[in-house]
């Protein structure tokens, strides 16, 4: 006899059961991922809002018997409105980043999976201390997640008067972790973060009491990303329906010209007439069939201006060079930021930097040392399946640039986009999208040519010296 049991589960229960897909597969990986989620939130709360970040990361052993670790990250960011705190930390898929603007976070997931992991392994709640600029009080919360309801349970809350002008957040989580197995990854993650944030002060304290301090070396922040409207090439039926259901637009013409970028008067009229519709029709009265025809026409039309790049926040060559110099003190460093491009209606920019010599470690024999980044996040795992790895191994012949591997060379590649084509929600590797692959190759080649000039001069000078000695 077969009796099926049908039921729906909440988003919290889904990620509680399948935490592996969000990067929480085991205690070692979970410790790394928790640090990452907290640091990324801290940086999003600072540099994306024009604040020079001061970030403090502490990992402490939190139990005599068990392998419990307390991870605390403090930032000087914009803080969180007190009434939002419970949802931001206690409701899976709740975020302030579901808008078209480049941020590190994007799923409204990260910190909540860490909270869930903490409560299932140690039973300890998340603690948040936060205040926004201009507020007179500092707020304090202790909470956990009701997994069935996907809702926060507030265990403690309070507030006190501010006696100095502090703003930012301090978030603490206690999880079961494996420090000895995650140590090198965590340190590497923080170091790679420091490479692309030379404008940040970062302090990191390990459970052994070691302190790593990356001091700010540049006062220039990348220009913060701005919110933009969607580009029509990325439209689909649901998006169009959601826009019309806002009720803001009384005619189809209005809806197209006001809610999308790159649709002006001429384009709107062309699209509407190709779809055989009336520009003055009330959007709510368009049938699904007609709407779908319009969607297909919008997607195929190929004379739009490309998507706006103001939503993006590339680092810029100065920041990349300062960052590589802060960590590697190289004899040669160069960087480039490519012009904006687009894939499937999503704008993206590729940047590349190369450091050579100095404290740069020797590379493996098959490729230069590689630092991969997406929206300023370092990517550490799944290097083998990433498009950036494919480019530096398959599309570039390093001997042509006078780099004979193994060599003291590190290549940094940063892809920023309002939609990075990650292969999973753990955000570790980027899919092979041909437009992106082409830009990566062009960016690296541009910098590699400068390295070749430098190396060829150096070789000539050394030959001259030899002749004088002989």
3-state secondary structure 309-368: CCCCCCCCHHHHHHHHHHHHCCCEEEEEECCCEEECCEEEEEEEEEEECCCCCCCCCCCC
- Which is nearer to Mg ion, 105 or 177 (by Cβ)? 105
- Collect contacts of 260-263 with beta carbons under 8 A, ≥24 apart: 260/229, 260/230, 260/231, 260/232, 260/235, 261/228, 261/229, 261/230, 261/231, 261/232, 261/305, 261/307, 261/308, 262/231, 262/232, 262/304, 262/305, 262/306, 262/307, 262/308, 263/232, 263/304
Of residues 167 through 206, those in contact with ligand ADP by CB under 6 A are 169, 171
Closest residue to ligand ADP in the complex (CB) = 105
CA distance 124 to 112: 14
- Which structure tokens are listed for 295? 């969607």
Asked if 41 interacts with Mg ion (CB under 5 A), we say yes
Residue bearing tokens 């590379």: 363
Cβ distance to ligand ADP smaller for residue 131 or 267: 131
Tokens of 288: 């699904």
Residues between 76 and 105 that touch ligand ADP (CB under 6 A): 77-80, 88, 95-97, 105
Segment interacting with ligand ADP (CB under 6 A) among 72-80, 303-311, 346-354, 363-371:
72-80
Residues 340-379 close enough to bind ligand ADP by CB under 6 A: none
Kindly tell me the burial class for residue 438, based on how many C-beta atoms sit within 10 Å of its own C-beta (0-12, 13-18, 19 or more): middle
- Does 269 help bind ligand ADP (rule: CB under 6 A)? no
Please tell me what DSSP assigns to residue 400: G
Closest CB 81 distance from ligand ADP, rounded Å: 9
Residue closer to ligand ADP (CB basis): 79 or 230: 79
**Pair 283, 260: CB distance under 8 Å:** no
**Count of residues engaged in binding Mg ion, rule: CB under 5 A:** 3
Interface stretch with Mg ion, choices 107-115, 320-328, 383-391, 432-440 (CB under 5 A)? 107-115
75 binds ligand ADP (CB under 6 A): yes
Closest by CA position to 56, among listed 34, 37, 71: 71
* Closest approach of Mg ion to the CB of residue 280, in Å: 43
Q: Provide the H-helix boundaries in 122-229.
A: 179-196
> Taking CB under 6 A as the rule, does residue 151 contact ligand ADP?
no
Nearer to ligand ADP, 74 or 334 (CB): 74
Q: Could you say which of Mg ion, ligand ADP, none residue 95 binds, taking C-beta under 5 to 8 angstroms by partner kind?
A: ligand ADP
Span from 110-118, 321-329, 369-377, 414-422 in contact with ligand ADP (CB under 6 A): 110-118
Nearer to Mg ion, 91 or 244 (CB): 91
Which residue of the chain is nearest Mg ion when measured via CB?
A: 105
Question: Taking CB under 5 A as the rule, does residue 105 contact Mg ion?
Answer: yes
H or E segment at 37? helix 27-44
Residues that bind ligand ADP (CB under 6 A): 37, 41-42, 45, 75, 77-80, 88, 95-97, 105-112, 169, 171
Residues that bind Mg ion (CB under 5 A): 41, 105, 110
């Amino acid at each position: 006899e077969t009796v099926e049991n049908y039921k729906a589960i909440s988003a919290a229960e889904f990620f509680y059961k399948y935490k592996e897909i969000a990067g929480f597969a085991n205690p070692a990986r979970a410790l790394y991922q928790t640090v990452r989620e907290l640091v990324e939130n801290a940086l999003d709360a600072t540099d994306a809002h024009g604040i020079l970040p001061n970030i403090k990361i502490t990992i402490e052993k939190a139990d005599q018997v068990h392998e419990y670790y307390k991870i605390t990250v403090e930032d000087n960011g914009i803080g969180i409105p007190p009434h939002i705190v419970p949802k931001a930390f206690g409701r899976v898929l709740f975020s302030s980043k579901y808008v078209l603007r480049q941020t590190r976070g994007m799923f409204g997931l990260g910190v909540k999976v860490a909270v869930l992991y903490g409560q299932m392994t140690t039973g300890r709640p998340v603690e948040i201390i936060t205040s926004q600029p201009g507020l007179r009080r500092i707020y304090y919360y202790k909470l956990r997640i009701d997994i069935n309801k996907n809702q926060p349970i507030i265990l403690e809350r309070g507030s006190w008067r501010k006696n100095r002008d502090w703003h930012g957040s301090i978030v603490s989580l206690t999880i079961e972790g494996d420090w000895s197995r995650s140590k090198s990854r965590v340190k590497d993650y923080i170091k790679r973060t420091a490479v692309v944030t030379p404008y940040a002060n970062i302090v990191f304290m390990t459970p052994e009491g070691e302190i790593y301090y990356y001091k700010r070396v540049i006062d220039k922040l990348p220009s913060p990303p701005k919110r933009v409207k969607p580009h029509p090439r990325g439209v689909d039926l649901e998006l169009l329906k959601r826009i019309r259901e806002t009720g803001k637009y009384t005619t189809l013409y209005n809806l197209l010209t006001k809610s999308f970028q790159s649709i002006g008067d001429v384009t709107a009229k062309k699209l509407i007439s190709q779809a055989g519709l009336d520009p003055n029709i009330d959007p709510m009265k368009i049938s699904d069939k007609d709407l779908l025809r319009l969607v297909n026409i919008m997607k195929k039309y190929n004379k739009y201006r490309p998507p706006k790049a103001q939503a993006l926040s590339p680092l810029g060559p100065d920041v990349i060079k300062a960052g590589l110099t802060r960590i590697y003190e190289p004899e040669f460093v160069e960087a480039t930021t490519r012009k904006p491009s687009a894939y499937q209606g999503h704008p993206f920019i590729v940047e590349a930097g190369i450091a050579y010599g100095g404290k740069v470690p020797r590379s493996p024999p098959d490729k230069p040392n590689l630092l991969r980044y997406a929206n300023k996040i370092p990517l550490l795992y799944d290097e083998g399946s990433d498009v950036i790895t494919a480019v530096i191994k398959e599309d570039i012949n390093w001997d042509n640039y006078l780099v004979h591997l193994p060599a003291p060379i590190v290549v940094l590649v940063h892809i920023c986009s309002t939609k990075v084509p990650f292969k999973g929600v753990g955000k570790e590797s980027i899919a092979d999208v041909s437009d992106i692959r082409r830009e990566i190759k062009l960016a690296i080649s541009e910098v590699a040519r400068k390295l070749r000039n430098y190396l060829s001069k150096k070789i000539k000078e050394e030959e001259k010296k030899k002749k004088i000695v002989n």
